[in-house]
């Protein structure tokens, strides 16, 4: 079956530090890959996505590249801010119909300090 | 992308009672999903809500405990029945965007069973 493995948190960084959150996946076929962010007390928001190999998703300074050869979709940001403190979820969807459901990683909590 | 309104945002319920959670989408979505997120955990899919037919449940979840309705393409409900403290969790609905932007989430319902 499909699965997503994320690096464990929490990750604590100083403001303006470089961020990498690793994500690897296992899936049949060619999945679409997503990063979602959950701010404290809120629901999930789509941060970025990529639908095919070598696609780069980007949003709000965050980037992730769909690497088929390494089955990875690592999230990066060059300079984090305190407002980026949240939980980040890597996810994939593959197939059609009910098989198109999202499979989530365990989430990585990011804490950015001044 | 679609916007999903979910309510209630939170509730405290007595053991043995039931709570119905509603999700309204502002545009048509192809698929709707219901998730549970236990404290500090990732999202677990409960079921896929199918328009006009019975929902498709994931392993470990049953219709008697989590009846779901989806009368049209923009509305769905999840009922948590005969609640116990173990049902205390955040429940989220999600829709797969018809235009392919991805999966949008409601803001979640934080349920506490006492």
Chain A residues within an 8 Å CB radius of B103 = 34, 46, 93, 102
pLDDT value at A73 more than 90: yes
- The mean pLDDT value for A92-104 works out to 79
Q: Report chain A's mean pLDDT, rounded to a whole number.
A: 92
Chain A residues within an 8 Å CB radius of B94 = 44, 102
Cα A83 from Cα A15, distance rounded (Å): 10
Q: Which residue of chain A is at minimal alpha-carbon distance from B34?
A: A101
pLDDT value at A38 more than 80: yes
B105 touches chain A (CB under 8 A): yes
Cβ–Cβ gap B42/A107 under 8 Å: yes
- The mean pLDDT value for A95-105 works out to 77
pLDDT at B51: 82
pLDDT value at A99 more than 70: no
Cα A60 from Cα B59, distance rounded (Å): 37
Cβ–Cβ gap A44/B96 under 8 Å: no
- Give me the tens of pLDDT residue by residue for chain B, a chain 114 residues long: 788 999 999 999 999 999 999 999 988 788 899 999 998 889 999 999 988 788 999 999 999 999 999 998 899 999 999 999 999 999 999 998 776 668 899 999 999 999
Count of CB atoms situated within 10 Å of the CB of B85: 9
């Amino acid at each position: 079956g499909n699965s997503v493995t994320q690096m464990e948190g929490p990750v604590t960084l100083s403001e303006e530090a470089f961020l990498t959150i690793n994500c690897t996946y296992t899936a049949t076929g060619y999945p679409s890959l997503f990063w979602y962010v959950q701010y404290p007390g809120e629901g999930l928001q789509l941060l970025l996505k990529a639908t095919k190999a070598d696609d780069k998703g980007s949003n709000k300074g965050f980037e992730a590249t769909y690497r088929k050869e390494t089955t990875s979709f690592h999230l990066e940001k060059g300079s984090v801010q305190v407002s980026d403190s949240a939980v980040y979820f890597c996810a994939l969807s593959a197939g059609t119909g009910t098989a198109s459901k999202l499979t989530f990683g365990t989430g990585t909590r990011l804490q950015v300090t001044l | 992308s679609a916007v999903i309104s979910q309510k209630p945002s939170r509730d405290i319920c007595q053991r043995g009672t039931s709570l119905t959670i509603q999700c309204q989408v502002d545009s048509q979505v192809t698929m709707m999903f219901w998730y549970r997120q236990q404290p500090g955990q990732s999202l677990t899919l409960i079921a896929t809500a199918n328009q006009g037919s019975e929902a498709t449940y994931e392993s470990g979840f049953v219709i008697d405990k989590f009846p779901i309705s989806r009368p049209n393409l923009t509305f769905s409900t999840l009922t948590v029945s005969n609640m116990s403290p173990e049902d205390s969790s955040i429940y989220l609905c999600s829709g797969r965007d018809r235009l392919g932007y991805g999966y949008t989430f409601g803001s979640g319902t934080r349920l506490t069973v006492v």
